[in-house]
């Protein structure tokens, strides 16, 4: 028999959100991504879907057989019930579910849930400790609140596309849906914070998370540059808006990333490349100077870097303590030993999907997760429980 101070086996360690009930009316990506994080950490998530077709993302590829990996990833570990929210019987089930839930998440356009009688005002009047999270393209206030939105629309309007890409090329969309994912992450953090507020202060809240706000918040250096100078920043490729050298550089066979973000690291970089004279060059004496002369500096660095393969320079720079790394393909990244060690690819219903980056010492991080549900897979049980 183990003593009370011993760590229980993983199978006996429920997630930190075990016992939490989440009514999930969201679909596609931003909302389901937030509720996936809640489910991964132990919450019970009941996903309410449209009868017949369910979440739109069930039809999005890539597919493994007839199963969408897109849907499987962000809906793993959830229960599915198909409800027609305009049907009185189904609406009653939804009302009972939301009355018992700790959290409600929805990502309809503002006003839709109110018209269905499932909005914040109606539910909070009967459930004062409810945490209600609304995720939308532009939020519930402001002149754009009713505009329809998808990730690419928001990326374009947020400014992030105009600062992405090479200086002499057109605006570019980042290779991942940053508007959806950032909104989902903010929603997840906001929900966790609001639940702590319920515990501390005894009342719930309405969380209004906009994809647009989330993406604007990610402008970071570009936004700060404009706010400081009033000058709209230009695209600078893979470089940094205020630090140099902090970019990708060509070697004999492939590019690598080098980030020498202070004078000490720049000195170490110069020494490692056999270019000690760079630190004495007045153009490169300060970070501001290096940034101003970053193209000239790039030329001097690449003259040496292109004499050998990336693997050689990565070993040299790592030995010198200079932050650097290869530019991996997706295949290299997901198959890396670091990805394996950190359990960042897991199995859900027999399908490989990205894992959870939150690692908590007191709780398990299983390599095998519960599958995403079939449409209405738990319908009978959910209707019986919440009738």
Residues with a catalytic annotation lie at 240
Buried b (16+ CB within 10 A) or exposed e, 111-139: ebbeebebbbeebbeebeebbbbbbbbbb
Gap between the terminal Cα atoms of the chain: 43
Q: Where are the alpha helices (DSSP H) in 258-320?
A: 263-272, 287-292, 294-305, 310-319
> Where in the chain does DSSP place strands (E)?
21-24, 44-49, 63-64, 67-68, 79-82, 103-106, 131-136, 205-210, 246-250, 255-259, 324-326, 345-348, 351-354, 368-369
Task: Give the residues across from 132 on adjacent strands.
Answer: 104, 206
The number of beta carbons lying within 10 Å of the beta carbon of residue 278 is 20
CA atoms of 108 and 104, how far apart (whole Å):
12
Q: What angle do CA 325, 331, 334 make, to 5 degrees?
A: 75
Task: Give the residues across from 135 on adjacent strands.
Answer: 209
| Residue the block writes with tokens 């999270």 | 133
Of the CA atoms within 13 Å of residue 349, those in its CB half-sphere come to: 18
Beta-sheet pairing, 255-259 with 246-250: antiparallel
Beta-sheet pairing, 324-326 with 345-348: unpaired
Name the residue among 90, 51, 115 with its Cα closest to residue 386.
90
């Amino acid at each position: 028999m183990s003593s009370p101070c011993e760590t229980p086996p993983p199978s006996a360690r429920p997630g930190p959100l075990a016992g939490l009930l989440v009514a999930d009316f969201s679909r596609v990506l931003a909302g389901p991504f937030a509720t996936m994080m809640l489910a991964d950490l132990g919450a019970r998530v009941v996903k309410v879907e449209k009868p017949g077709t369910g979440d739109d993302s069930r039809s999005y590829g890539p597919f493994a057989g007839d199963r969408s990996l897109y849907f499987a990833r962000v809906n793993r570990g959830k229960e599915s019930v198909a409800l027609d929210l305009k049907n009185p019987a189904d609406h009653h089930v939804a009302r009972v579910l939301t009355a018992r839930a700790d959290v409600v998440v929805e990502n309809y356009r503002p006003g839709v849930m109110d018209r269905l009688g499932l909005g914040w005002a109606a539910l909070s009047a009967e459930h004062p400790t409810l945490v209600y999270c609304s995720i939308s393209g532009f939020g519930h206030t402001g002149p754009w609140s009713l505009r329809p939105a998808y990730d690419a629309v928001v990326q374009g309007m947020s400014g992030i596309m105009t600062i992405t890409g090479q200086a002499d090329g057109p605006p570019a969309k980042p290779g991942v849906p940053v508007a959806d994912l950032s909104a989902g992450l903010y929603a997840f953090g906001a929900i966790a914070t609001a639940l702590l507020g319920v515990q501390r202060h005894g009342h719930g809240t309405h969380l209004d998370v906009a994809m647009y706000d989330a993406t604007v918040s990610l402008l970071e250096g570009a936004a700060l540059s404009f706010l400081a100078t009033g000058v709209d920043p230009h695209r600078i490729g893979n470089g940094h808006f205020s630090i140099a050298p902090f970019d990708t550089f060509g070697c004999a066979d492939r590019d690598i990333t080098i980030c020498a973000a202070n004078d000490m690291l720049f000195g170490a970089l110069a020494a490692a490349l056999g270019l000690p004279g760079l630190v004495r060059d007045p153009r490169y004496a300060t970070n501001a100077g290096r940034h101003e002369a970053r193209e000239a500096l790039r030329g001097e660095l690449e003259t040496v870097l292109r004499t050998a393969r990336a693997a050689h320079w990565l070993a040299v720079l790592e030995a010198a303590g200079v932050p650097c790394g290869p530019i991996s393909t997706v295949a290299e990244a997901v198959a890396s030993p670091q990805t394996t060690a950190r359990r960042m690819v897991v199995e859900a219903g027999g399908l490989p999907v990205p894992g959870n980056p939150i690692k908590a010492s007191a709780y398990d991080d299983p390599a095998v997760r519960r599958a995403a549900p079939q449409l209405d897979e738990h319908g009978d049980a959910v209707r019986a429980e919440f009738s």
